[in-house]
Structure 1
Amino acid sequence: MSLLTELVDYVDLNQRSFFISAAAIAFNPTFWNIVARREHRTRFLTRLFGGNAQTACYALAATIFSLGIIRDFLYERALRDQPTHPALEQPLVKYAAYALLAVGNLFVISSTWRLGITGTFLGDYFGILMDGIVTGFPFNITNAPMYYGSTMSFLGSALLYGKPAGILLTLHVLVVYLIAIQFENPFTAAIYAQRDRERARAAGQTVESKKEL
């Protein structure tokens, strides 16, 4: 318990960069959920790009990716402004940091490879749906490998720099992503359920037409 207390004492809340980083972490999933849901309801991005849903999705993907780079830059800057704890400078901690970074990036890259750009960046909100559920690695380990992989990368960076503030920001990342999952998963499931109902209805109409012939 004393080590935990020491780690907390090494979080400098007087640093403005800490709160800017926390705000950027919370902003990103909030932004893409609001924009994607509005697109699903109104198709405003698709209309903006001349009715081309795929181009609109790629534009949102580029925006999300750019915001991610800015978020990561602000996080690194926040870490540099924070004090380092001696206990986090041990070799085993560094090894754990590299392992977390390796596995985290593996999860993110492999899930992007599995889903493709539109599958990764909310293409289903644009009406670009996948044929079926992806079950291969890393989705056979977790249903949200990008979120958990990103969280591992945040923690890996915090340990690599030896910054207790980074651990606290990583907890913030995890909470933000868990909240995002609670909003995204049911909404996405509803989109695919609607697609399945429409397919079943169309198949039923086809059968009835054949009977009439």
Structure 2
Amino acid sequence: MNRISKIALLAGVAILPMTGAGTASAAQASTQETATASTSVPDGFFKPGTNTVVKRTAPAAPAPASSGASTRASYSLKNINGPNEVCGTTKLQKTSGAGKTTLVMTVSKSVSAELSSEVAVDAEVVSGKLGFKVTGTTTVEDQTRYEVPRGKFGYIEAYPLYDMYTFNVYYGGQNKGSSWAMRPVGVCFNQWTE
């Protein structure tokens, strides 16, 4: 089992591939103009599950307007969906211990925003439309406590929490496909016992 599959199993979720990426044909473009961008979770991320405690460092941002006026080099974004909470699969920190005990983890790490490279788009256009720098970093920090019963072994693993935005990328008025951007907003703590 690979690392991403194990993380998803612990979080109690399935990882879904990002769909709808790529170049749209002329026939697809007319139907995709009114369709919303995909809300699947891209590879390298997972939706928080039952074993995941989500703690936000940043407040939830309002959803950007769905209209997409060209702002630079004929790029525009349409059908913006989000923010939706997802966790990254890059482990920030981990701890474990035999019960009876209380595991305590404090995380303070610098995490980079993420922008899909599946569809070419100007990062400044995405940053301007979504309201955060898609090439910047943010410090995420929080703490969790996890009670481990006697006779059990407990684990905590911390992963970055993101607000995920999906959208369709247009260049020169033509739909080039769907893309996504991630804003770091906190910490996902996967906690479990064996």
Range class of TM-score, shorter chain: 0.3 to 0.5
Q: TM-score, normalised by structure 2?
A: 0.32
Bigger Rg, which one: 1
Q: TM-score, normalised by structure 1?
A: 0.30
